């Protein structure tokens, strides 16, 4: 079929095939947790769909616009009727797997589908803002990873660090990480990769809190590493550092304080590196007058050596 679609100019046939693939994937993507094998199977299906789009990118753009708009409307309807467990309609495997497939398509065909980047980013940000409950932390991590992928593959700057900071902030005068921990009743806690939410019996355990802190810092590190050589790095990390320093002062767990301190120190070291190189290029930047030229010079000045972050 792929060979036929590649040779023919029948757009209607290509459109019907892609629609059928997307519809079937939507039905099958309701499951996602339970094991890494399921994730691998879904990823194979997503990769096949992305490769199929390459056969007719003009038609794929139209279909992408249509289906991304449907996801946005689904989010809007849920947000306007947040009653009971309505948030589960969005924070689900089906929604995540569908939006992930379009993120993969954007990263693979960023030039042809560039106009769909902003709608997808706004969709992901809207989903992140839907709930700040710690029980949906695994789902937030997944969305954060998708936004990081878009940033790395498309060179689009997306300010998202604040969406991984909420575990370190007090909500309603209460701090999740400073609250009294409960004993773990089960032998293990499911991996974040195969979970969309934290079970109630696991939420307040010390093992779960350790994972939240560790994975939050890992996601923030991956995000900041993509901007480690950017001229705006000192400014973009200022608010983030303030929040983490405040948490370190009020935190009652020594291990968390040490982990946060190491991370904050790495940010400060990287900011100092960028600032020093930026100051050396001050005169050249005045002559050039182009930000892109200054960024290229800054990247060359830092070189290929690993950055602190």
Q: What is the pLDDT of residues 266-304, one digit of tens each?
A: 999 999 988 888 887 766 655 555 666 677 777 777 777
**What integer pLDDT is reported at residue 115 of this predicted model?**
94
Q: What is the pLDDT of residues 205-253, one digit of tens each?
A: 999 999 999 999 999 999 999 998 888 899 999 999 999 999 999 998 9
DSSP string, 17-37: HHHHHHHHHHHHTT---S-HH
Q: What is the pLDDT of residues 113-162, one digit of tens each?
A: 999 999 999 999 999 999 989 999 999 999 999 999 999 998 888 999 99
Is residue 33 over pLDDT 70?
no
Name the nearest CA neighbour of 49 among 100, 111, 112, 115: 100
């Amino acid at each position: 079929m792929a060979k036929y679609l590649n040779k023919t100019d029948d757009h209607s046939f290509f459109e019907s095939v892609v629609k059928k693939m997307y519809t079937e994937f939507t039905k099958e993507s309701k499951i996602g947790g339970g094991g890494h094998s399921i994730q691998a199977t879904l990823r194979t299906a997503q990769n096949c769909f992305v490769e199929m789009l390459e056969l007719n990118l003009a038609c794929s753009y139209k279909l992408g616009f249509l289906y991304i708009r449907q996801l946005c409307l689904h989010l809007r309807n849920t947000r306007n009727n947040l009653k009971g467990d309505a948030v589960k309609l969005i924070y689900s495997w089906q929604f995540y797997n569908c939006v992930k497939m379009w993120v993969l398509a954007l990263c693979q065909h960023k030039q042809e589908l560039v106009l769909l980047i902003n709608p997808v980013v706004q969709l992901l940000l809207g989903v992140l803002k839907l709930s700040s409950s710690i029980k949906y932390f695994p789902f937030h991590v997944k969305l954060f990873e998708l936004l990081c992928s878009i940033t790395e593959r498309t060179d689009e700057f997306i300010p998202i660090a604040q969406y991984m900071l909420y575990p370190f902030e007090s909500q309603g005068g209460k701090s999740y990480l400073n609250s009294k921990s409960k004993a773990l009743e089960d032998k293990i806690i499911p991996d974040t990769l195969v979970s969309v939410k934290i079970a109630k019996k696991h939420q307040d355990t010390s093992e779960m809190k350790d994972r939240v802190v560790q994975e939050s810092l890992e996601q923030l590190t991956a995000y900041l590493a993509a901007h480690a050589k950017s001229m705006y790095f000192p400014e973009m990390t200022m608010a983030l550092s303030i929040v983490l320093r405040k948490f370190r002062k009020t935190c009652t767990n020594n291990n968390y304080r040490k982990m946060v301190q190491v991370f904050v120190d790495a940010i400060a070291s990287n900011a100092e590196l960028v600032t020093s190189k930026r100051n050396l290029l001050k005169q050249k930047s005045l002559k050039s007058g182009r930000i892109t030229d200054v960024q290229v010079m800054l990247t060359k000045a830092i070189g290929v050596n690993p950055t602190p972050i």
